Amino acid sequence: MAPANRAIVRNALLLPAVQIVLGLVGAVVIALLGHGAHAKAFLVGAAVVAAGFAVFGWRTGLQAPVVSAGRVFARLLVGSILKWVVIGVGLALAMAAPALPAAAVFAGAVAAYVGCLLCLPWLVR
């Protein structure tokens, strides 16, 4: 298997990093307001979404770049399914935890996903 393209590897790793940074910034702002549990829950929500996108990047972008179209499509499908399984299970477990406020977990997940939407045009270039 040939190594993946540098730009693809960079983008596959950069998007989850941006999502984690957004989660950290939001958690610091919430912690400065005096809500420690909410800050931790916000960061957990963002980390779950970042983990889902990291799994997607690993499954689709960090594999050998020259393969048949069928294999690329299968990678895309499996990567998407794995991403949503990681996000769904992670958010369900985080929201079920009694120490984490569910609304703050959801807010962190939304913030990380909005970060993805804002970064996509920049990453596609």
Q: What is the pTM assigned to this prediction?
A: 0.87
Q: Which helix (DSSP H) or strand (DSSP E) does residue 100 occupy? A: none
CA angle 104, 108, 109 (to 5 degrees): 115
Rounded to an integer, what distance in angstroms lies between the CA atom of residue 101 and that of residue 123?
32
User: Does pLDDT of 124 surpass 80?
Assistant: no
User: Does pLDDT of 100 surpass 60?
Assistant: yes
Rounded to an integer, what distance in angstroms lies between the CA atom of residue 115 and that of residue 49?
10
Segment 101-110, tens digit of pLDDT: 999 999 999 9
Confidence grade of residue 3 (pLDDT, cut at 50, 70, 90): low
| Residue corresponding to tokens 């990567």 | 79
Confidence grade of residue 12 (pLDDT, cut at 50, 70, 90): confident
Segment 29-84, tens digit of pLDDT: 999 999 999 999 999 999 999 999 999 988 887 777 777 888 888 989 999 999 99
